[in-house]
Amino acid sequence: MAELIIDNLHVQVDGKEIIKGVSLTVPLGNVVAIMGPNGSGKSTLASTIMGHPKYKITSGRIILDGEDITNIPPNERAKKGIFLSFQYPKEISGVTLGNFLRSALNARRSSPIPVVDFHKLLKEKMEALGMDASFRKRSLNEGFSGGEKKRCEILQMAVLEPRYAILDETDSGLDVDALKVVAEGIRKMRGPQRGMLVITHYSRILDYLTPDVVYVMRDGRIVNSGGAKLAKEIEEKGFTAVR
């Protein structure tokens, strides 16, 4: 089956269990949302799926398109088509956005993309996200606003075209206009050959994406699931009222 499966995952950080038996599935072509209050384990789950060494899997499995990837390193997961958009993108002085993206793309290819072809691709993706061409020459995220940083994360996804995209609170800190632009960029990436796991506190970004499934996390566990209406119910009543 073409899907990303999290199977009864238990994860510790510094000896403390944070994820306590989470199971969920992200099929290709679907948008799956995870909602939950601060400290529920959403971002820990995202980083664990990507293979961050800080997070120790004590039991359970991560299955990618039928292959057990529980113990493979992050770079191998990326090559297999997993992408993580960070909640707090890092600034990297001296590394231009263009060079960063070309290096990332080449790391996933069997042969480097010709420079002319890359710049054509980058221009196309930046225009689709309403980004000025001058950004490609700026140091990665350095001096960028919150909205610009998040837009760069979506630009990375658009250039790399992963099979499975994990978006960790991509909507956090965005004003209404920036949210619309970022959400539209994500929406354009939606399709039958891509699964998306969208992690958020609020339903506002889901208004643009209309998830196929919504999971609710609390204290490291999935405590509820449902359709897009569940996100609306949470927005209206809060997490404590939704069981």
Q: Provide the domain limits for residue 148.
A: 3-237
pLDDT at 243: 61
- The rounded distance, in Å, linking the Cα atoms of 217 and 149 is 26
- The stretch 66-81 carries a mean pLDDT of 95
pLDDT at 101 > cutoff 70: yes
Average pLDDT over residues 74-103: 93
pLDDT of residue 1 exceeding 70: no
Q: Answer yes or no: is pLDDT of 241 > 70.
A: no
Max distance between CA atoms of the chain, in angstroms, equals 54
Q: What is the DSSP letter of 66?
A: T
Report which residue type is found at 229.
K
In a domain, 183, yes or no: yes
**CATH number for the domain that contains residue 105:** 3.40.50.300
| 11, amino acid identity | V
Residues 6+ apart with CB under 8 A from 82: 4, 49, 50, 64, 162, 163, 164, 166
- Tokens encoding 214: 């919504």
Domain annotation covers residue 242: no
Q: Once rounded to an integer, what is the mean pLDDT over residues 23-27? A: 97
Does 124 fall in a domain? yes
Q: How many domains does the chain have?
A: 1
Report if residue 113 sits inside a domain.
yes
Q: Which 3 state secondary structure label does DSSP give 9? A: strand
With 0.85 as the threshold, say if the pTM is over it: yes
Structure tokens at 132: 């000025």
